Amino acid sequence: MRNLTILFLILFTSNSFSQIECEFDSDINDTSGTYKNTKDYVMHERYFGNNKATLFFSLVNADGLISLNVQYIQKNSDFISAKCLDKNSKVYVQLANGKVITLLGIEQENCGNLIRNENENIRFISGYFLFMKDSYEELKKSPIEIIRVKFAGEMQDFIIKSELISELDGKTYKPENYFINYLKCVE
């Protein structure tokens, strides 16, 4: 009996410590509706010379409609060409189980913003993508291997790591388990 109690305590405590806490930028519930938005999460970084690029995800639930906000920020001392999102833009998620999940872009025309300061150019683009019902459950079961973003006129692949120590903020991220850990936050 004592061994069973110890086993139960070990399982209970390890399970409770491994739970990911939901953190929100916005969590509004009032007479006009509900809106939840998770904090931005670093999914991919590429720092090479003076070229820096970071891909962020956040999840949104607006009155029951769940979407993915994708933000891509590039920094460079040289000119940065525009990447645009349009009504045909998509995000493809290749999972470790071999399945490819497609998220559809909301009708949007966006080529981002270019900000210049004295040392570098910064290009920021953001867009929202909708989950298809039949694939939503798959994202909760399997880690991510590759993210492909279909911009207007080009595609870009992002190899997703199991663990990423961000050069941007020094924090440790686990991007391959992003949907497994955070979809529950907006359901």
pLDDT digit string, tens, across residues 27-51: 788 888 889 999 999 999 999 988 9
Model pTM score:
0.85
* Confidence at residue 5, expressed as pLDDT on a 0 to 100 scale: 42
Q: Across-strand partners of 128?
A: 69
Tokens of 138: 């798959």
Tokens of 8: 């139960």
Helical segments of the chain, H only: 2-17, 133-139, 178-182
Confidence label for 136 from pLDDT (cuts 50, 70 and 90):
confident
Residue keyed to tokens 């872009």? 105
pLDDT at 11 over 60: no
Cβ neighbour number for residue 186 with a 10 Å cutoff: 19
Confidence label for 18 from pLDDT (cuts 50, 70 and 90):
low
